[in-house]
Structure 1
Amino acid sequence: MFDIQNYASFIAAILIFQLIPGPGTLAILTATARHGIGAGFGAVMGTLLGDFIYMSGAVLGLAAVMHAYPLVFEALQGVGAVYLGWLGIQLLRSPAANVASTPPQKKSSWRYFQQAFLVSLTNPKVILFFLAFFPLFLCADASSITLGGLMAHVTLISFLYQAGLVLVGNALARKLSPLPSVRKIAARLAGVALIGFGVKLAANNR
């Protein structure tokens, strides 16, 4: 679909990355818990906008590399597979993260949008992730439609998952967040999955 290589793996990888808690997830849960669904969706839109800006930068860079330096693009695919494995190893080694217990001041939906947008923009590792992630599912002569399809998939799946956090997942997340064992198991499972994806995609792209 959209000439995306390893399409099923692409969708599965996006879902796994969404399940790994990060600063954006915490911003969304905090907004919803403290100021309701409207604030939660404000945070969702802020996070998506920040990610979209980084995705756009990654795609523009990849488009230039694919057409001008095909060998460099093939090298990026290898780097991407290694990067997935490295992320997985970091999750296997990392301790369960602590959850801040100090409640934030209440803000409007717009303020939560701004806050989540800044949280997303202050995480420059996101653009590095997309630069490493996208080449794994592209061929060297991929069109702009394929690049746009990658972005659309990530944005749509991210929105659906984050909207689920706001609508039904917040209460459960708040109950489970103080339990280090639950967070640790989730991180370990995600780490194993990422390593597996790195190995599989490296083999498929050879």
Structure 2
Amino acid sequence: MFDIQNYTSFIAAILVFQLIPGPGALAILHATARNGIGAGLGAVMGTLLGDFVYMAGATLGLAAVMHAHPFAFEALQWFGSAYLCWLGIQMLRSPVSVDASVPERKKSGRLYFRQAFMVSLTNPKVILFFMAFFPLFLHSDASSVTLGVLMAHVTIISFLYQAGLVFIGNALARKLSSLPSARKAATRLAGTALIGFGVKLAVNNP
């Protein structure tokens, strides 16, 4: 279908890829918990844009260029690790009211868009995933149109899944808001997890 080889497996692989928790999903849930659906959807768009940049780079052969210049790839890895740790530290240090009657200070969805975009963009291993992923479902004579269709499928399915995370996360956040320390614990947990992702990226950096 759509000139995609093993179409059913392709869809299933995208779904599995989305179900694997990562910094992007964490950024989306954090934005939603702190400032609601608008902030969460802003983070979704930032994550999707970051993934789109890497998909486009993969189809244009950016991974081959980075392989020829490994220093650039390693530098991007170190930058990504540092940024995730920095973002996690900011979450740990940010004041969070434990009084459920005190609302969170509203922040623009654009702020969460930028944060999620940077979280997605500072994970350079995503481009290697797409470089290995796309060829599995392409014929040797596939056209650029087919590549575009592949990218559209990933983007649409990712949006539907991540938007679902926003609405589910918002519902859970509303329920947990009645617990005195729920918002603080969730923020501290998110910050610790981001630092963990950053450290893991640094450790795996050759």
Q: Do the structures match in fold with TM over 0.5?
A: yes
Counterpart code for 1:116:
A
8 A contact 1:50–1:121 mirrored in 2? yes
Partner of residue 119, structure 1: 119
Over 3 Å counting, the alpha-carbon distance change for 1:61 and 1:142 in structure 2 is same
Pairwise CA RMSD: 2.7
2:26 matches 1:23: no
Residues 55-114 of structure 1: per-residue CA shift (max 9 Å, x gap): 00111229x9xxxxxxxxxxxxxxxxxxxxxxxxxxxxxxxxxx9984857532110000
Query: Relative to structure 1, is the Cα distance of residues 142 and 104 closer, same or farther in structure 2, using a 3 angstrom cutoff?
Result: farther
Deviation at 1:2, TM superposition (A): 1.4
1:34·1:104 contact (CA, 8 Å) conserved in 2? no
Distance 1:10 1:172, change over 3 A: farther
Contact (CA 8 Å) 2:36, 2:170: kept in 1 or not?
A: no
The residue identity in structure 1 corresponding to 2:13 is: A
Structure 2 match to 1:146 = 146
After superposition, the Cα gap between the structure-2 partners of 1:20 and 1:170, relative to the gap in structure 1 and judged at 3 Å, is farther
The offset of 1:171, in angstroms, is 4.6
SS in 2 for 1:26: helix
1:13: Cα distance to partner? 0.5
Matched, 1:39 2:39: yes
Task: Give the Cα–Cα distance (whole angstroms) in 1 for the partners of residues 17 and 37 of structure 2.
Answer: 23
Q: Post-superposition shift, 1:123?
A: 0.3
- Normalised to the residue count of structure 1, the TM-score between the two structures is 0.62
CA distance in structure 2 between the partners assigned to 1:102 and 1:11 by the alignment: 37
The within-5 A match list for 1:44-193 is 44-61=44-61, 102=92, 107-171=107-171
Q: State the shift of 1:53 in Å.
A: 0.5
Distance in 1 (alpha carbons) for counterparts of 2:94 and 2:7: 40
Deviations 1:115-149 (A, max 9, x none): 00000010000100000000000011001111001
C-alpha spacing 1:151/1:128, structure 2 compared with 1 (3 Å): same
Taking the aligned partners of 2:28 and 2:169, their CA distance within structure 1 comes to 11
* Per-residue CA distance 1:126-177 (angstroms, 9 max, x = gap): 10000000000001100111100100000000000000001124555998xx
Mapped to 2, the partners of 1:165 and 1:29 lie a distance apart of 7
Cα deviation 1:8-50 (Å, max 9, x = unaligned): 0000010011011100000000000001100000000000000
**Higher alpha-carbon Rg:** 2
Q: Percent identity at matched positions? A: 77
- Contact between 1:46 and 1:115, CA under 8 Å: does it hold in 2? yes
Relative distance call for 1:32 and 1:169 in structure 2 (3 A) is closer
Equivalence for 2:3: 3
Counterpart code for 2:112: Y
The count of corresponding residues between Structure 1 and Structure 2 is 142
